[in-house]
Amino acid sequence: VNSLSSVTLSEVYATLCDEDIALLDQIRRFRGPWLVSKSSDYNHIIVTASKKFVVDMGYDKSELIGENCKKLQASSVDFNSEANAKLSAAYKANTDVHVVLLNYKGDGAPFGNSLSILMLRNKSNEVVYHLGVIKIDIEIGVPPSPQPTRPTRGLTDEIRYQQSQAPLESFTVRDRLYNFLNGVHFQVFMMGVVCTDIGILLGHTGGEEGEDGSVIAITMIILIVFLTEVLLKGFVYGPYLFVKDPFNLFDSLVVLLSFICTFAEATNVGLGVATLRTTRNVYKAVKVLRTVRSLRFLYKSVKGTSAGARKLVGRNKQRYVDLENQFDLDLCYIDDKKRLIVMSVPAIGKLALFRNPIWEVVRFFETKHKNSYRIYNCCPEHPYPDFKTGAAIIKYNVQDHSPPTMECFVNFMNDAGKYIGSGEDGKTIAVHCRGGKGRSGSLCCAWLLYSKECDSADKALAKFALSRTESRMGGSLQGVETPSQKRYIYQVEQLLQKQNLYWGDGPVSPPKAKTMKLKALHLDMLFSDPAGMAKLGPIVCTVSLEGEMIFTSEPVLHEVLSNKVTFRLDNTEVSGDVQVSVYIKDRMKAEKVAKSGKEKGILFTFFFHSAFTSKGELSMKTKMIDKAVKNKKIKGTSMVRVG
């Protein structure tokens, strides 16, 4: 089948009358660009399309399927106004129509689009789909414009654009060696070598006849490893930083003397001393120093293994590395002015084995930003004591996998803006959750918008993701991923635009919350395996406000044939921050329902603020619903509607 779809072609065919089935067959045989949208959807969401259409437009299939057809139009150009009016009239009258549009491909290139919209009807003669047949690159007269006519970039395009503006540098040899020497695998290896050395030092003291030949051979191998490690460390740190640490000089001296004495023991070379007995006495003294050195090295290796474990947990997140001050933290600056820091939680106890140790975090801020920093804590699940330095720590109760509330966003922007002031006195704010990604990333994006460093939510999301990611390591971007967190960032953008208040303009006010009466939650063609879902038993819908569940629907069985589910919400009144969740009834646990994302039996959940709904309704694609976006049982481009 030459198509990419959220609604399969068989599902489209099953609803059509015989005449339109023949029409669609004929269109497909030409293998040209075409698309199908649902007639009942005001937004004209693309539900299936030919591969030729996706390729010609220059997008990935995930960037087009499930998107509004107007994605291809430029919002700033009114060239299509007459054609759009003609389309709207045809949609209302359910008549076929032909228009010429100015559209844009994924790379921003404009093209003329000769578009024919054909109404596809079911056996009851009702229009159920719109079939768009396209001829691209026709010549049209485009009025000159002093401004670029490229359409607004979506998040994926924005990330690609920002990446293209900052060409990726490769790791230097020093970078690679540093990561190798401080990696968990090398640290574990060195611990094994040191333990072997300590065993030899304590178990074989030697005598008048000297050491056993096999012991000397093993010792030489160990010392070669130590000598190599010292030389590599000297290369990575450079002469100045290497000799600045007296322990490095001690290590180098002990390893070098041990190597010389062991070599002399093996070859009976006196190296300037009068007799072999004197040589062995010197060798014994060096062995004492080597024992001290090995015990100290073992202690450092244990700490180094923890640092390596932190790197593994942090994956490809950007880290702050300062060799001179010996910092290696899961922490980075997000904005260009270095006023905004994001980091993982300052950890105590066992958690410090995998996250930033709190004492190292304090040392960093006291070294780099003494008396001019403020911490915003979005990690209530891992409390830690206040810094002994007396630095202010603002705590927000934001649960994992959830967005901050709109009130939290507003409070953060106002407080951070007031603290930083004019920005000329070097004050810095630092935000963290557990891993320094989702919850803290949401607030960081809000600051990028509030400070006007980014003029759109997509640009803020892209900037945070690229700043938080060590791109040279490869892997996925470490940005804000939870759909509800993204939704709130877009809503913050709307709030700032509506009030026209930014950093330095005065405090932002929370949005006026609408009171909504939720009548129903509609799931339309949501599940990829309707029969399999039906076997899981009834499903229920819950509504929560401020983390407290206020409504649970009656259990509903999934309709296999129609692949639709409707939950009656009994006009439940909500206002402000709302959470809606759907569970498999037999698997859910009541005491965990108020949490987000990790509950037993949860299929999906989403958050929204009532002030940003239209006409008491909210419609969204499943890729903007938490957990659904990564659930293979749920179609990635289906629609969910609540209201």
Over residues 173-224, the pLDDT tens digits come to: 888 888 888 777 888 888 888 888 888 877 765 544 455 678 888 888 888 9
Query: Which pLDDT band holds residue 273 (cuts at 50, 70, 90)?
Result: very low
pTM beyond 0.95, yes or no? no
Rounded distance between C-alpha atoms, residue 249 and residue 243, angstroms:
6
Numbered ranges of CATH 1.20.120.350 in the chain: 183-314
- Of 27-41, 323-337, 551-565, 625-639, the least confident: 625-639
In this structure, how many other beta carbons lie within 10 angstroms of the beta carbon of residue 307? 18
425: DSSP letter? S
Question: Which of these CATH numbers, 3.40.50.1110, 3.40.190.10, 3.90.190.10, 3.40.50.970, describes 320-499?
Answer: 3.90.190.10
- Mean of the pLDDT values across residues 485-493? 93
Looking at residue 592, its pLDDT comes to 44
Rounded distance between C-alpha atoms, residue 158 and residue 164, angstroms:
10
Looking at residue 105, its pLDDT comes to 79
Residue pLDDT, tens place only, 593-639: 445 556 777 888 899 998 888 777 788 777 788 887 777 777 655 66
CA nearest neighbour of 517 among 432, 453, 610, 394 = 610
Q: DSSP H helical segments within 245-267, as ranges?
A: 246-267
**Checking DSSP bridges between strand 539-545 and strand 393-395, what pairing results, if any?**
unpaired
Numbered ranges of CATH 2.60.40.1110 in the chain: 515-642
Can you say whether residue 7 is alpha, beta or left, with left for phi > 0 and alpha for psi between -120 and 50 degrees?
A: beta
- Mean of the pLDDT values across residues 237-250? 84
Q: Which CATH architecture has domain 183-314?
A: Up-down Bundle (1.20)
Q: For residues 566 and 212, which has the higher predicted lDDT (pLDDT)?
A: 566
Looking at residue 269, its pLDDT comes to 52
Q: Class for domain 3-152, per CATH? A: alpha beta
Q: Does domain 515-642 have CATH number 1.10.3720.10?
A: no
Numbered ranges of CATH 3.30.450.20 in the chain: 3-152
What does the mean pLDDT of the chain come to? 80
DSSP 261-298: HHHHHHHT--TT-S-HHHHHHHHHHHHHHHHHHHHHHH
Query: Which pLDDT band holds residue 149 (cuts at 50, 70, 90)?
Result: very low
Looking at residue 277, its pLDDT comes to 60
3-state helix, strand, coil in the chain (%, to 5): 45, 20, 35
Looking at residue 308, its pLDDT comes to 65
- Of 93-97, 123-127, 139-143, 546-550, the least confident: 139-143
* φ and ψ of 571, to 5 deg: 55, 40
